[in-house]
Structure 1
């Protein structure tokens, strides 16, 4: 998580400098330390890390401020030094700049002082971020792989994206995630939060279909009496995600009026609850995602360009599954293992023909469709090893790949493998399915398959006896 910037103010006469500190803290949301004299400055710079030093030129001795500028910039070349002067003296300003000062500002212009500090802090943050990104990408590995445990991949393009996420996760800037439906943008958003180290929660909201009023109420909350039915104050998602991450999915479908409110929140870090004129501040980090073409939406006026530029500070384009074919095999084994574990059944093997067929299919629905295909195949396999024919009936394109063209599939059709199951196994499967459809009601299940309730009861008793420990 990105730490708040810090400013050190130093001089011999602190009355006027003390008045600057509150304005700097409020405007720039930074930590300000005020010290007096050369010794305090030297000690502070060596004992703590600062982004900017604001140095009053009125220090005792023979031109000591120039010497101090040189000393500070030599000790820490990355530290920005701004000298406060009382008059516009071009020769003196050039001397300060020659010795390493970032700028000289008239102390009679506090607004200018704050603006210049803000610019220098922003530049330092960008330099630090760029350095960190270059250093991290050169390592060619993840520092904390457990942050990405939900993402199954061996594709180098995906691994590079995860490394990029790890590099920018600490930042407080927004992250824009783009990609086709079903590519796992929600998992990427969760990974950004996990890698950020933020202590607050990960809060999710799908903004598609929310009109401006619903969006404002959902995000910002309301106060009692804001509208009919508002009988008490209610916090919004921004409050609930305080100190954490707010993930707004389907941002490309956001109402144009709501886009203005979101932009204001991103620019100023402030929002208003419905029915209130009291501004509230937030430190939430925004991650947004869309499967829409934002360039096209901006060209037709359906998405604001200024909002796009705010959101796309860090952009992650998730590739479709068809462009990471090496992951199809990995994901297929992963989903089979997970579904078998969830259902309490033994792990089923995947025959090579089954995996090879999957690898030839383009998966327009991406990872989400692969997950559905695996569920379909497991149901068709009935506890036998997964073969290519178990993919039949899911989609005509898959049927073409396995050389089958089934007509309308009967709901009661059973696909058998090479080894036929025993009559008892078939009977058990039939009873299991009847019980599932009947919601566990044995009498109803018996009626469905034309047996007596006692037959089902005997089967369940036999199963319990078989599973009982010796």
Structure 2
């Protein structure tokens, strides 16, 4: 064998240990020489006992084992290797001058994987060794993959069991059919997400603990707060207060009231909102704007369940339900110290997150119809008929202002309406479809192509993806899809034709 070939073999089988066991020195030396010359790390042993000791010291990758040896034969050595957890999976190749079938059967029964007859050829020994080492590597990889799959399956099954238990728990609390549908009549929705919110409200509405309502501006947080009130105590007082911009003194006076003479100009007793909401609900909107001093006052109100009007030394009990709302991230504010942690956690006893309109686009058609009716009634006009393309157009807009923005769009369109079919031009203008200025980077995600993990698409592939997405969003309406893509309808038709060729 050439020197270059030997070096190549040594690199390819580096750190592969082979235990060679034979009580005949010439055979032991010959096998060791053949394997060493081919680059293997050989551990020779001239007896079964020495072989077992060597295997316990350094676990071999393969064993070449003579059968007929004094004291302990190869069958017994193989059985002991297979009983040891460290060498259980190590392949054993028997070598013997005996060729009777019964000996081969005994060899395989003992745990051997192959049988080489003496006298042997170097090429045969190397071929068998390399074959079983390769099989061992494949087997090890498959075992690792199976173990990983078993862990993933076990984890998934565990997660599914936990999810099933959680769902069963929820179903035990929340009925699929709303018990108080009349409480939600002012909220126009057919979204499953909103239905889940309604069911959660029914489960917690009669709790005496505070409720925190979060969500973007314009999603309808006050409507949700009113629904909480209407589910449990619709006959009791409902007192909403927007606390945005109130300084500490005005906040305290608004919330707690004052007695006569409490301060200059206090010439009569004034009941605070918390007192007016007795047995009912006090709704505090824009709670995220509350100053640190006012936060302390609200915390005391919630914790002590009592308050004192300004200028009074006599505490009064609170028996009103407190519901608060905000469109800011209170979790982040409390982490930075801008919002008290103790107040935050007291308010989070019950938390309701209202999904934005872009996450419940199935509500857009019924909201459009409802708002058209409302706008026509307020303007004393006949309700206009919207074009069939309008819901598709609106469903492809993100609505940063949510339902409030949609309402403004509808009222603006109805105010300018003169014919029978409602024009879409005012909607397009509000959505900026025909604006010529470049779209701000803020309108996109920081890394919009992050989903392409393997590779970036080519320009042609990206264009095809955009066309398919536009067609899907507009449900096959090429005119609307062309508007979304900023191209003409003939240009879109031409591109579609090329994509199908």
TM-score above 0.5: yes
Query: In structure 2, do the counterparts of structure 1 residues 213 and 339 end up closer, same or farther at CA, with 3 Å as the change threshold?
Result: same
User: Structure 1 stretches of 5 or more lacking a match?
Assistant: 1-129, 405-470
Residues paired across the two proteins, number: 274
3-state SS, counterpart of residue 386 of structure 2 = coil
The Cα shift of 1:347 comes to 2.0
**Aligned residue number for residue 386 of structure 1:** 422
User: Structure 2 stretches of 5 or more lacking a match?
Assistant: 1-166, 437-479, 485-501
What pairs with 1:12-51 in structure 2 (closer than 5 Å)?
none
Q: 2:172 aligns with which of 135, 140, 161?
A: 135
The Cα shift of 1:396 comes to 1.6
Distance in 2 between residues matched to 1:201 and 1:182, nearest whole Å:
24
**Aligned residue number for residue 206 of structure 2:** 170
Distance in 2 between residues matched to 1:396 and 1:202, nearest whole Å:
39
**Aligned residue number for residue 272 of structure 1:** 308
The Cα shift of 1:239 comes to 0.5
Deviation string for 1:185-223 (max 9, x for gaps)? 010000000001254211011111111111100000011
Q: Is the 8 A contact 1:381 1:390 kept in 2?
A: no
Distance in 2 between residues matched to 1:206 and 1:374, nearest whole Å:
26
The question of 1:296 aligning with 2:332 is answered yes
Distance in 2 between residues matched to 1:199 and 1:380, nearest whole Å:
40
The question of 1:333 aligning with 2:375 is answered no
**Aligned residue number for residue 273 of structure 2:** 237
Q: Is the 8 A contact 1:171 1:196 kept in 2?
A: no
Q: Is the 8 A contact 1:247 1:288 kept in 2?
A: yes
3-state SS, counterpart of residue 314 of structure 2 = coil
Q: Is the 8 A contact 2:409 2:426 kept in 1?
A: no
Q: 2:248 aligns with which of 201, 212, 216?
A: 212
The Cα shift of 1:167 comes to 1.1
What pairs with 1:368-407 in structure 2 (closer than 5 Å)?
368-397=404-433, 403=483
Q: Is the 8 A contact 1:176 1:312 kept in 2?
A: yes
The question of 1:281 aligning with 2:317 is answered yes
The question of 1:324 aligning with 2:365 is answered no
**Aligned residue number for residue 345 of structure 2:** 309
Distance in 2 between residues matched to 1:204 and 1:397, nearest whole Å:
38
TM-score normalised by L of structure 2: 0.52
Q: Is the 8 A contact 2:433 2:483 kept in 1?
A: no
Distance in 2 between residues matched to 1:132 and 1:289, nearest whole Å:
27
What pairs with 1:47-66 in structure 2 (closer than 5 Å)?
none
Distance in 1 between residues matched to 2:428 and 2:208, nearest whole Å:
48
Distance in 2 between residues matched to 1:390 and 1:176, nearest whole Å:
36
Bigger Rg, structure 1 or 2: 2
Q: Is the 8 A contact 2:379 2:415 kept in 1?
A: no
3-state SS, counterpart of residue 389 of structure 2 = helix
3-state SS, counterpart of residue 324 of structure 2 = strand
The Cα shift of 1:397 comes to 4.1
The Cα shift of 1:393 comes to 2.7
Deviation string for 1:73-101 (max 9, x for gaps)? xxxxxxxxxxxxxxxxxxxxxxxxxxxxx
Write out the 4+ residue segments of structure 1 that deviate beyond 3 Å after TM superposition: 130-134, 397-404
**Aligned residue number for residue 197 of structure 2:** 161
The Cα shift of 1:384 comes to 2.6
Distance in 2 between residues matched to 1:279 and 1:185, nearest whole Å:
31
Q: Is the 8 A contact 2:256 2:310 kept in 1?
A: yes
Q: Is the 8 A contact 1:178 1:315 kept in 2?
A: yes
3-state SS, counterpart of residue 394 of structure 1 = helix
Deviation string for 1:208-267 (max 9, x for gaps)? 111111110000001111111000111100110001000000001101111111111111
Deviation string for 1:100-121 (max 9, x for gaps)? xxxxxxxxxxxxxxxxxxxxxx
Distance in 1 between residues matched to 2:197 and 2:337, nearest whole Å:
30
Query: In structure 2, do the counterparts of structure 1 residues 173 and 131 end up closer, same or farther at CA, with 3 Å as the change threshold?
Result: farther
3-state SS, counterpart of residue 181 of structure 1 = coil
Distance in 1 between residues matched to 2:229 and 2:288, nearest whole Å:
21
**Aligned residue number for residue 180 of structure 1:** 216
Distance in 1 between residues matched to 2:405 and 2:435, nearest whole Å:
15
The question of 1:354 aligning with 2:390 is answered yes
Distance in 1 between residues matched to 2:349 and 2:387, nearest whole Å:
45
Distance in 1 between residues matched to 2:483 and 2:291, nearest whole Å:
47
